[in-house]
């Protein structure tokens, strides 16, 4: 009499394989199953496996009112049998839908509609640098600040941030000045909005101050060297 869990070894073509008498996880039918590294190679009998293979998209159990984070098999929601799905929300529009899992994580955080929008692309607003150190981003026609775009639909990042902070596009005569002189420091409080005429005056004054500071440093070094030569 054969009992569940019994094992036997079969030698074929010089290779010995181990089989275990196990029950199908679906219909409970007992049959001999080959072992691979001590683990059953198949949990289902051939009949049950064939039934699932020919009806992969049939809804068997449709979860009612799923909650965020719920996980189910694909065959329960009319999708591929072997895939697992999680009930998630789109990070852009908030739409709830089933998302296929990959390595235990949702494959996409955006629904198909939002994922197809250019502004939701990872390349959207990609920062590039100009020859004088300013940051540029590309914007699109549906952007409310598109009127500020120049060649290549690009706009200076510090101007774009100031426009969003004010809630309106900037005009050509308005200039965004960095108080600390660091062109990529666009934290709110560092950029200030000034007129073009005033900005030219501020820039000229800052350049003059920087020149005088360098000159003072050079004179101090020359003074130290002169004292050392005099004492010698």
The per-residue pLDDT for 61 is 45
Neighbours of 171 (CB within 10 A): 10
- Render pLDDT for 76-121 as a digit per residue (tens, 0 to 9): 777 876 788 888 888 778 888 889 888 888 888 888 887 766 555 5
Domain with CATH 3.90.75.20 in the chain: 122-199
**Rounded alpha-carbon distances, angstroms, from residue 81 to 55, 56, 69, 78, 115:** 9, 6, 19, 8, 25
Looking at domain 122-199, its CATH class is alpha beta
The per-residue pLDDT for 150 is 85
DSSP 190: S
| Token pair belonging to 171 | 């005009």
Q: Is the dihedral of CA 114, 116, 122, 128 positive or negative?
A: negative
DSSP 199: H
For residue 123, what pLDDT band results from cuts at 50, 70 and 90? very low
The per-residue pLDDT for 59 is 37
**84-89 and 71-73 strand pairing:** antiparallel
């Amino acid at each position: 009499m054969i009992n569940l869990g019994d094992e036997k070894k079969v030698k074929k073509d010089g290779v010995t394989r181990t089989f275990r008498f196990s029950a199908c996880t679906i219909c409970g039918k007992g049959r001999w199953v080959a072992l691979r590294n001590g683990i059953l190679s198949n949990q289902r009998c051939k009949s049950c496996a064939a039934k699932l293979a020919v009806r992969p998209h049939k809804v068997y159990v449709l979860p009612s009112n799923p909650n965020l984070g719920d996980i189910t098999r694909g065959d329960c929601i009319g999708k591929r049998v072997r895939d697992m799905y999680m009930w998630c929300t789109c990070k852009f529009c908030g739409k709830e839908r089933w998302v296929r899992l990959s390595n235990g994580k949702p494959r996409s955080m955006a629904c198909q509609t939002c994922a197809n929008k250019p502004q939701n692309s990872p390349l959207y607003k990609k920062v590039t640098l100009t020859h004088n150190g300013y940051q540029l981003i590309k914007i699109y026609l549906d952007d409310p600040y598109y009127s500020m775009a120049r060649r290549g639909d690009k706009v200076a990042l510090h101007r774009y941030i100031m426009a969003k902070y004010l809630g309106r596009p900037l005009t050509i005569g308005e200039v965004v000045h960095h108080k600390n002189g660091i062109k990529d420091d666009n934290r709110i409080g560092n950029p200030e909005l000034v007129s073009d005429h005033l900005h030219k005056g501020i820039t000229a004054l800052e350049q003059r101050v920087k020149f005088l500071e360098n000159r003072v440093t050079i004179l101090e070094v020359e003074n130290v060297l002169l004292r050392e030569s005099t004492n010698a």
